[in-house]
Amino acid sequence: MFRPLALLRPALSLLLAAIFSLPAQAAAPDWCAQIGKRLGSVPTEQCRKLGLEAAPEKTRNGHALMRRDYPAAAQKIAALGKGERAPRILIIGGIHGDELAAASLVFRWMRWIDEGDARQYHWRVIPVANPDGLLATPPQRTNANGVDLNRNFPTPDWSEDAHAYWQSKTRKDPRRFPGKQANSEIETRWLNAQIEDFKPDVIVATHAPYGLLDYDGPARQPRRFGHLNLNRLGVYPGSLGNYGGVHKKLPVITIELPNANSLPPLKEQREIWDDMQTWLRRNIGPRQVS
């Protein structure tokens, strides 16, 4: 018996599969294509080659939280003493979404990380900690909930001081709103989970546009990286420097580029990177396995 439906069934199932796969694709916007459009120095194809991995969590606007791990090189691990491990360095860029150069710089570092001795460390790199802010039109400092993520970390002084500081010192500047509660934001919780899980020995965060180097924590403070001189700004309730440097007793280096919208000349980018490597080499040696 002739059964046209039986012949059609494979084609029909292919068609249905194609239709049902569409919403899934639409729900996962191409992160690197969006970054490539936003950051002039990060072409989409170059971003794709960096091998960033998406966390299971998504931001409020549906963007991925991306990271990449670079374990220490095998020959560096082989050269470690007994019971030692490579130091771990966590890099966090773009926590303020309108500081485009701060994110661009971290993408640049990802291209340099295999050079020289940098792979004596285990790096975890988060180039864009606030994708909703960076990819907003126009880009904005806060996340999609209007929270300044760098005031949302759960520092011990948060409950008492974060809102008081916001009201009296910033006059309720909406760009500096610390959130309704400490750690209320998915991005802050995710960053916190990276700190808990990766257990970094150093955190490096990039910002703009103050053109300086800031430092919190127990190691010897750096004097300058490239043209950026140390100028300690002090800590704020809920800031990463306060949380990591004061509360968790980790060295937290804050790099403030001089311009939020464009990177410094390549030579200066290189000097910042090289001076950071020198500081790490002198101050952050191999750790005992605990």
Residue in 38, 96, 124, 151 binding Zn ion, rule: CB under 5 A: 96
Residues making up the chain, counted from first to last: 290
Q: Which stretch binds Zn ion (CB under 5 A): 17-25, 86-94, 115-123, 205-213?
A: 205-213
- Three-state secondary structure of 230-267: ECCCCCCCCCHHHHHHHHCCCCEEEEECCCCCCCCCHH
Binding-residue pattern over the window 223 to 262 for Zn ion, x denoting contact by CB under 5 A: ----------------------------------------
Burial of residue 129 (CB within 10 Å: 0-12, 13-18, 19+) is: buried
Residue type, 61: N
Strand pairing class (252-256; 287-288): unpaired
Nearer to Zn ion, 188 or 277 (CB): 188
Residues 93, 39: Cα–Cα separation, whole Å: 13
Buried b (16+ CB within 10 A) or exposed e, 11-32: eeeeeeeeeeeeeeeeeeeebb
User: Residue 241 Cβ, how far from Zn ion at the closest point, in Å?
Assistant: 11
Write the DSSP string, 183-247: T-SHHHHHHHHHHHHH--SEEEEEE-SS-EEEEESSSPPP-EETTEEB------TT-HIIIIIII
Nearer to Zn ion, 108 or 176 (CB): 176
Task: For residue 21, give the 3-state DSSP assignment.
Answer: helix
Number of residues that bind Zn ion (CB under 5 A): 3
Nearer to Zn ion, 99 or 214 (CB): 99
User: Residue 96 Cβ, how far from Zn ion at the closest point, in Å?
Assistant: 4
- Three-state secondary structure of 77-105: HHCCCCCEECCEEEEECCCCCCCHHHHHH
User: Residue 99 Cβ, how far from Zn ion at the closest point, in Å?
Assistant: 5
Nearer to Zn ion, 99 or 185 (CB): 99
Q: Which stretch binds Zn ion (CB under 5 A): 178-186, 200-208, 213-221, 260-268?
A: 200-208
Nearer to Zn ion, 88 or 207 (CB): 207
Nearer to Zn ion, 98 or 201 (CB): 98
Q: Which stretch binds Zn ion (CB under 5 A): 25-33, 186-194, 206-214, 265-273?
A: 206-214
User: Residue 214 Cβ, how far from Zn ion at the closest point, in Å?
Assistant: 11
Radius of gyration (Cα) for the chain, nearest Å?
A: 22
User: Residue 208 Cβ, how far from Zn ion at the closest point, in Å?
Assistant: 7
In this structure, are residues 244 and 235 in contact, taking their beta carbons and an 8 Å threshold? no
Q: Which stretch binds Zn ion (CB under 5 A): 90-98, 226-234, 247-255, 271-279?
A: 90-98
Nearer to Zn ion, 207 or 248 (CB): 207
In this structure, are residues 31 and 126 in contact, taking their beta carbons and an 8 Å threshold? no
Residue in 163, 176, 207, 248 binding Zn ion, rule: CB under 5 A: 207
Q: Which stretch binds Zn ion (CB under 5 A): 3-11, 171-179, 182-190, 201-209?
A: 201-209
Q: Which stretch binds Zn ion (CB under 5 A): 4-12, 19-27, 79-87, 204-212?
A: 204-212
What residues make contact with Zn ion under the rule CB under 5 A?
Answer: 96, 99, 207
